A and B are shown apart, each in its own frame.
Chain A
Amino acid sequence: MRRPPPEVTWWSRLVAWVDTPQPIERLALARIVLPLVLLSFQASRLVHADHWLTAIGFRVPYLGGHDWRQPLYLPALPPWLAWTIAAVTVVAGLFLSAGFLTRASAGLFSALLAYLALADRLEAFTVSKLGPMLALALCLSPSGARYGLDAWLRRRRNPAAPVPTHVRGGVIRFFQVFLCAMYSGAGIAKLRGDWLGGDVLWSHLHDNYQTWISWALGRAVPGWGWQGLQYVSLTFETLAPIWFALRWTRPYAVIAGLGMHALIGLMFGPVIWFAMLMSTLLLAGYLPERWLRRLFRAAPIAVSPALTPKTTSGRGSG
């Protein structure tokens, strides 16, 4: 007797969508680049670990436990421990990027980034908050399966073993959905703020975040140009779930997102690390597969069209 086909429910559809195989290069790109961006952002803090985490620098006193400006009070560390945490964070991040002891280094990196974000609100920014989650995502996925030292060592031990070409989609789906949530939320926050009528972009060009590029643009772009950029940004961000869901708008959304982050990174000094982090997520999540393979110089897999699910063929893998 044949077993009846499993019932198709919204849950089974969701699980199938999440599990759709994705090229392993997406995950490898995130694993290689994200830790380097996170470490680059933290670099100016890590080299002053004593001023950051110990009583040598200024510490905000305990505020009673119910103050949004101090989500958790963690006391100052002794200097040797602060320097140890700084060193281990760097090592864990570099190991993760190199794909060496990947799962352990990703877990450790995530935990240390979470500690560093909570230990001191004064040094916690958007990148500090995103870092632990992204490292945790890399930890929970097979991100060391290829393009890293772990993979190289495995291959040396067993040269005949097949090289993985795909991963189950979960972690990539997380990057994709998270980006849409982030953009859409940001767009709605801007709509609720001053972006429709105020001169937001122009108003943020005049302080010590200013770069020579933002200064030059401030002189070259007419007043209405800044308002126009605000509308473009609002349209892209608020409707991001649509732009990234539709196959034919997706490549343009990637280009628009990269352009927006490039402008932000070049115009607002230290914000460049946030821009690079988001750009990496964009590329890992949505870069068309053929471009991604070219980036890694990986040969496309010869797959019988009859056996290839639509979602993994060429442009459809996003």
Chain B
Amino acid sequence: MPATKPERDGRVMAEPWLSPRARRIVMVLAGIYALFVWMDAAGLNLPDRILPLPMRFFLQEAALFPDAARDAIEYRAEGYRCDTGRFEEIDVRPFFPIQRDDKESRFYRAMFFHRRQKKVLEALDQFIVSQQNRAHPDLRIGGVMLLSLRIPIPPPGTPEGRYQRLPLTDYPQEVERKYWYVTPPGERTQRCEEAAAP
């Protein structure tokens, strides 16, 4: 516990528990940390060159929103219905309950970071299919299509309605759809056959 000692001028200093030598070392390390945070944001890549990934990760925190968004991005999923043999939108939000309605949802984050990484998208495919089939055994799916919507942003100052999440079918043609992953047809068929087996 920090003891206290009165000083001549009436102040009472809280006694630090680190030794003077340890405080100096901490001071230097703290200074280096602040400098590296600044360097990372300023585009000076010295920290990238000398630090391992897990340490670098804790420095990447100052360069926030540097670029303009070209479009508002929404990530969505369509499921391959085993009964109809067609893709229809499925609401994946219940399967990713953390911040489920905004772009901090795990589904959004997974698509944002890993939309070009097949290995992650395959894991996402398996996860969504198993969750959907557990939650809705009467509406089984054999695979997914993972896509993003690119919703155009109007010119600055244009009055517009509040943001609302719309079903995929309600978006007009000018909203571009980019498909990042589709479960291979053989895989979809196999999963549906397994689901149908007694």
Contact = CB atoms under 8 A, between A and B. Distances in A.
Interface string B135-173: 000000000000000010101110110110100000000
A132 to B, nearest CB: 7
A185 B41 contact: yes
Contacts of A132: 58
B106 A51 contact: yes
Contact of B124 (A58, A140, A162, A219): A58
B66 A215 contact: no
B51 to A, nearest CB: 11
Interface residues of B, number: 84
Contact of A188 (B24, B41, B73): B41
A166 B66 contact: no
Nearest to A150: B1
B46 interface: no
Contacts of A21: 11, 13
B6 interface: yes
B175 interface: no
Given A133-B58, A208-B163, A190 B66 contact: yes
Interface string A185-229: 110111011110011101110111110100100110111111100
Given A200-B65, A200-B67, A303-B9, A164 B99 contact: no
B123 A209 contact: no
Contacts of B165: 208
Interface string A39-60: 0000011001001100001111
B123 to A, nearest CB: 5
Contacts of A117: 57-58
Contacts of A154: 1
Given A72-B54, A307-B8, A167 B114 contact: no
A146 interface: yes
Interface of A: 15, 18, 21, 24, 44-45, 48, 51-52, 57-61, 63, 66, 68-69, 71-72, 103, 114, 117-118, 121-126, 129-130, 132-133, 137, 140-142, 144-146, 150, 154, 161-168, 170, 174, 177-178, 181-182, 184-186, 188-190, 192-195, 198-200, 202-204, 206-210, 212, 215, 218-219, 221-227, 269-270, 301-304, 307-308, 312
Interface of B: 1-6, 8-18, 23-24, 26-27, 30-31, 33-35, 37-43, 53-54, 56-70, 72-74, 95-99, 101-104, 106-107, 109-110, 113-114, 117, 119-120, 123-124, 127, 151, 153, 155-157, 159-160, 162-163, 165
24 contacts: A58-B106, A63-B120, A72-B54, A121-B113, A142-B2, A142-B15, A154-B1, A165-B10, A165-B11, A166-B13, A167-B14, A174-B34, A178-B37, A185-B38, A185-B40, A189-B62, A190-B65, A194-B68, A202-B156, A203-B153, A206-B151, A207-B74, A207-B103, A221-B157
